[in-house]
Amino acid sequence: MSSLKQLAIRGTIWTFIGYGSSQVLRLGSNLILTRLLVPEVFGLMALVNTFIMGLSLFSDVGINPSIIQNPRGEKPEFYNTAWTLQVIRGIGIWITCIIIAYPISVFYDTPELKWLIPALGLNSIISGFQSTSLPLIKKKVKVSISTSFMLGVQLVYLGLIILFVWFYRSIWSLVIASIISQIVSTIVSHKLMPEIKNRFTWNQESLKELFSFGKWIFVSTAISFFAMQCDRLLLGRLFPIEILGIYTIAFTFADIPIQVINRINGSVVFPLVSQLSDLSRQELRKKIIDKRKLILILGITLVVLLTCFGDLLVLNLYDERYKDGAWMLQILALGIWPNLLSITMRSVQLGIGKPMYGAYGYLLKFIYMVIMLPFITNIMGLFGAILVIAFNDIPFYLAVQYGLWKEQLLTVKQDFWATLFLVFLISIILFIRYYLGLNLTLPSNGFFD
């Protein structure tokens, strides 16, 4: 047990190092790109990535989580069968990109989409050939290796983007840089664990286990596409494309706490819970509740900072074109709290082999978005749309808590006190900010624009 604790500590430290470095690189490149490109480019890329991500989620059978969670994950017949499925899936995604590109370009009245979607979709074929070394490294909680790999790939990607955009200020610079970096990523992935030699394999027993675990991953991720991407899909239709670009900038910052916790969950919590899944629910819950306190403290700190001072971040880093992102960021940052509470336990549900509750949550979230976003937008305009999006994780949280109750891992009491502490901190800091004369940034054209 002490060795697992050491793995968790080392993994968490490396996760922080990796994520912190990643965000510094991302912010730096983002500031450069927003000065070289117009907001419409970011809106277009958001739409293209949304549809490609949707196809990925609709075809996701949990290949990597299955390798991490399954006791046979390190057997060649298992991970090679998983790799074969991964290759087939990548080719299928690209073919679908070609099929849907034209109808989407007509729907959004944006001709560029019919070429951008198939071009960027090539990444799905390339990534399909990535080595299964990546999930196997995570299974062993070797976070230092996976972190170094991701940072290296990101450096290549951002370096290429800045180089291409500097000389050719077009959205195609972003597409070409993405494809080249994906090729580099795939090649390097096969060097991480030289003993892993991926080859085409079709083992029936492994297939059965992959689909047994992956069926709920498939349902969950398919529904999650609509639930998590509804904002971009509907905003791109309800508002000018530049609004989507500004929203994307604001969301990128507001999503930082979720990304941090997700990194810890994926690199540390999920692999370790998979190894502890044979414990009684009472023992497992006790260990989780105790360690979860530290994760929640981190989450509270990040949410408070972004909610109370996020507008200053946007106003000082970006030019006048992006000023509406300031008030969007503060609302979105506060709204991620239910999601943050949920994902700290979502990985636990995956670790014990119970991914179905997340699927229920994403379905509820999708229904909420489809009904509330157009309705409130008609009444309150952009401000109302951002409010709806900000608090769209409450249905997801309720579904996850239902699953925790069923599995005797309920965290409502801890969540209540953490939420109370969050509200107290935000109230105090906003009062001090108001007292010092630093008023919050409001929508430039009023609440009901």
Each residue's pLDDT expressed in tens, for the chain with a length of 449 residues: 445 555 556 656 666 666 667 667 777 777 777 777 777 787 788 788 888 877 877 666 677 777 877 778 788 898 899 899 889 989 999 999 999 999 988 888 888 888 999 999 999 999 889 998 888 887 776 767 777 887 888 888 888 888 888 888 888 888 898 899 899 989 998 988 888 889 998 988 888 877 776 666 666 666 767 777 778 777 877 888 788 888 888 888 888 888 878 777 666 665 666 556 566 667 777 777 777 888 889 889 999 999 999 888 888 888 888 888 889 999 999 998 998 888 777 766 666 666 677 778 888 888 898 889 889 988 888 898 999 999 888 988 888 888 888 877 778 888 999 999 999 999 999 999 888 877 777 776 544 44
Instruction: Check whether residue 322 and residue 377 sit in a common domain.
Output: yes
How far apart CA 386 and CA 247 sit, in angstroms, is 9
Tokens of 382: 């952009």
- Do residue 109 and residue 8 come from a single domain? yes
Are residues 158 and 98 part of one domain?
yes
Give the range of the structural domain holding residue 38, as residue numbers without chain letter: 1-220
Residue length of the chain: 449
In this structure, the answer to whether residues 254 and 391 fall within a common structural domain is: yes
Domain-embedded: residue 225: no
Buried residues in 349-366 as b, exposed as e (16+ CB within 10 A): bbbbebbbbbbbbbbbbb
Q: Are residues 261 and 199 in the same domain?
A: no
Looking at the structure, tell me whether residues 85 and 182 fall in a common domain: yes
On whether residue 226 sits in a domain, the answer given is no
Rounded Cα distance between 328 and 407, Å, is: 37
The Cα 279–Cα 256 span in angstroms is: 32
Q: Is residue 228 part of a domain?
A: no
DSSP H stretches of helix in 170-203: 171-189
Domain identity same for 209 and 255 = no
In a domain, 206, yes or no: yes
* Number of domains within the chain: 2
> Is residue 232 in some structural domain?
no
Domain-located, residue 408: yes
Same domain, 246 and 213: no
Domain boundary among the residues 159, 192, 220 is at: 220
Domain-ending residue, one of 220, 250, 281: 220
Co-location of 182 and 320 in the same domain: no
Domain-embedded: residue 234: no
DSSP letter at 267 equals I
pLDDT at 303: 93
Instruction: Give every CB contact of residue 143 below 8 A, 6+ residues apart in sequence.
Output: 10, 11, 14, 15, 18, 267, 268
Cα separation, 128 vs 131, in Å, equals 9
The reply to whether 227 falls in a domain is no
- Shared domain for 332 and 396, answered yes or no, is yes
CB-based contact 313:329 (threshold 8 Å): yes
**Domain boundary at 188, 220, 252, which?**
220
Residues 274 and 370 in one domain: yes
User: CB of 282 within 8 A of CB of 410?
Assistant: no
Q: How far apart are CA 198 and CA 427, in angstroms?
A: 54
Q: Are residues 181 and 248 in the same domain?
A: no
Who's near 320: CB < 8 A, 6+ residues apart?
Answer: none
